[in-house]
Structure 1
């Protein structure tokens, strides 16, 4: 049996992770400890203690699954209103697919591609791109490397388990674990790749080569995308890249293992990304959804496609010409884990003042947001849970 806490696994399993609020069944391991028989079923549930002890195991959600659990710990269970919304949003509807843009068409008609991206960025805030030039072998290899990291022995993953990215690399479960009302069923490795990249020796060897190769390709594609997005705003192709919006980069590899009770939790809470642009590579499992005017839309996995979404920061820079969007990931009910790799693109200068671009404001359309430093912006983000659009609301005039 997988020991969640080496010093006292039974205490963690049976005192902290007791009865979930939606079931009368106790939290179970594959081989229940005799200690369970002496723990009072009526003992009060201490959520803060349970979360702390889970974090201190350094094994993440993957460790829970490896231990053989059949019932998720209570702090992963979301409130009834959230679960009801998830159920409604997961039902098949008439909402259209998010747009797909063929980047190779730039050669034939750049203006047409600019318009496609402008339309997607100003309405849905999400689109997929195909024919982006990244080799298929690297697409497969990057996902496989992220998966390989999360499926290492727990003691290997634990070596980089931390809630800060001081050395440029950290593995953790739920970036907002201690702020959220309910946790999400996923683990993440995050790696700083710009402007000052993590020392290669700090990146786990199991994914080191792929991380470095993937970053180079993302930078290339991001420069193309920013040029098209900039032109869509009526600006020069270099306007956004000149602001350093490709230079600040963090790569994350999310791992969503099978969830024994996917109807009680989520893979990732509804939120909008805080940065400028996100470039996402997802596998074939699915589960990503975007909120649109027609309801929640499944972002269906397409072979070799990248998912691109507008972040809050670019919404602000564009003075709301472009829109960030709420998105979420459903808990994984498949026996196969879901894996995705995202790169968040941000400005490199954290002390520079940012706000709506002057070219996009006028007497008829005044600036909708106040100026701020990116450091202030991200500090605000990490002080709260993932909870939708409160970040943009905070900086609104």
Structure 2
């Protein structure tokens, strides 16, 4: 039964890491102590109400310097966040028979439970996680395809999806202002697709050899991540890994590669990975905002005209971009190099 591929189905029965989860020496975390990312910007969105310009500049600076920041006082109800992470835990800890109808190796299935990466069958080394992934916007279009169990899943996660989408659009609106693009530049064409991805990282027998997610940059517009209170997210800065320490009731905001292109390289997209631990399960919820599939992606013309500069990237389709990202195993710079304009 393929459900047995789920890491959570068998991880408690092994004492050593299976060979097909062991990363090459140059990619594995090893036993080195990774320093905490003390410079990670933490932006208080409540202060944006009284001093919007300052908050916009803080966000823009964080996007330029790191491609990643955390937001607090963001307006998403704390109880709703707790209820959502609680129901995600409940889902992953249900008996396999209650989850079997959702499990699939087919990357094209809209709502699916799987293990490791989107292409488990073809990868040579697996990552140490189980995943539930489904579209979440427009909510009424997708909610009936979501897990029927736990019984409150659709109601709670639906409310959460709407709130996090609103937060995503609010942050994009502030970035839009900071870049001096026209209001609503990030309209439905560039933000019409939203996907929710919940991760379960069970305790790992040897975290020095395995990864929860390998190094990559997000192939989207923007990602909003809730990582609760257990660390594991690491970001690459100046050739070194740093741990992104969880902040109570905060969201981590990742700038995606597509937003880097739209900003003509002005904004960064952080390379990041997830490490495991040997003691406790870690659960996270990521919300990805992406463009519609029929949209041509290119640097914003208004930005080029305003700064009187040439485009760094050629126009491309989402399909071509996603294929290139996959071929380059999520490596951000290698992916964008394909679309760079020479000279």
Same-fold call, TM cutoff 0.5: yes
Match of 1:337 in 2: 281
RMSD: 2.1
Change in 2 beyond 3 A, CA 1:64/1:326: same
Query: What SS does structure 1 have at the residue aligned with 2:35?
Result: coil
The 5 Å alignment of 1:145-294 reads: 145-164=87-106, 166=108, 168-174=110-116, 175-195=118-138, 197-206=141-150, 207-240=153-186, 242=187, 244-293=189-238
Query: What SS does structure 1 have at the residue aligned with 2:80?
Result: helix
Distance in structure 2 (CA, Å) of the matches to 1:87 and 1:132: 36
In the alignment, is residue 360 of structure 1 matched against residue 307 of structure 2? no
Match of 1:10 in 2: none
Distance in structure 2 (CA, Å) of the matches to 1:333 and 1:389: 32
In the alignment, is residue 63 of structure 1 matched against residue 63 of structure 2? no
Please state how far the C-alpha of 1:326 moved relative to its aligned partner. Answer: 0.5
Match of 2:337 in 1: 393
Change in 2 beyond 3 A, CA 1:361/1:277: same
Flag structure 1 segments of 5+ consecutive residues without an equivalent.
Answer: 6-55
Q: Which is worse superposed, 355-364 or 212-221?
A: 355-364
Distance in structure 1 (CA, Å) of the matches to 2:57 and 2:22: 42
Change in 2 beyond 3 A, CA 1:294/1:270: closer
Match of 2:321 in 1: 377
Match of 2:49 in 1: 107
Note if contact 1:170-1:190 (Cα within 8 Å) is conserved in structure 2. Answer: yes
Q: Which is worse superposed, 214-223 or 386-395?
A: 386-395
In the alignment, is residue 126 of structure 1 matched against residue 68 of structure 2? yes
Note if contact 1:59-1:157 (Cα within 8 Å) is conserved in structure 2. Answer: no
Query: What SS does structure 2 have at the residue aligned with 1:342?
Result: strand
Q: Which is worse superposed, 253-262 or 143-152?
A: 143-152
Note if contact 1:77-1:182 (Cα within 8 Å) is conserved in structure 2. Answer: yes
Note if contact 2:200-2:283 (Cα within 8 Å) is conserved in structure 1. Answer: yes
Distance in structure 1 (CA, Å) of the matches to 2:332 and 2:58: 26
Please state how far the C-alpha of 1:287 moved relative to its aligned partner. Answer: 0.8
Please state how far the C-alpha of 1:203 moved relative to its aligned partner. Answer: 2.5
Structure exhibiting the larger radius of gyration computed from Cα positions: 1
**CA displacement, residues 61-93 of structure 1 (integer Å, 9 cap, x when unaligned):** 101224x1112211100111222x6544x4337
Note if contact 2:105-2:120 (Cα within 8 Å) is conserved in structure 1. Answer: no
Note if contact 1:355-1:369 (Cα within 8 Å) is conserved in structure 2. Answer: yes
Match of 2:83 in 1: 141
Compare relative contact order (CA 8 Å, sep 6+) and give the higher one, 1 or 2. 2
Match of 1:17 in 2: none
Change in 2 beyond 3 A, CA 1:182/1:59: closer
Corresponding residue pairs, total: 336
The 5 Å alignment of 1:11-26 reads: none
Please state how far the C-alpha of 1:359 moved relative to its aligned partner. Answer: 1.6
Distance in structure 2 (CA, Å) of the matches to 1:327 and 1:169: 25
Note if contact 2:105-2:121 (Cα within 8 Å) is conserved in structure 1. Answer: no
Q: Which is worse superposed, 175-184 or 265-274?
A: 175-184
Match of 1:9 in 2: none
Please state how far the C-alpha of 1:294 moved relative to its aligned partner. Answer: 7.0
Distance in structure 1 (CA, Å) of the matches to 2:183 and 2:45: 15
Distance in structure 2 (CA, Å) of the matches to 1:382 and 1:80: 22
**CA displacement, residues 315-339 of structure 1 (integer Å, 9 cap, x when unaligned):** 01110111101101111222x2100
Change in 2 beyond 3 A, CA 1:387/1:86: farther
Match of 1:321 in 2: 266
Distance in structure 1 (CA, Å) of the matches to 2:106 and 2:156: 22
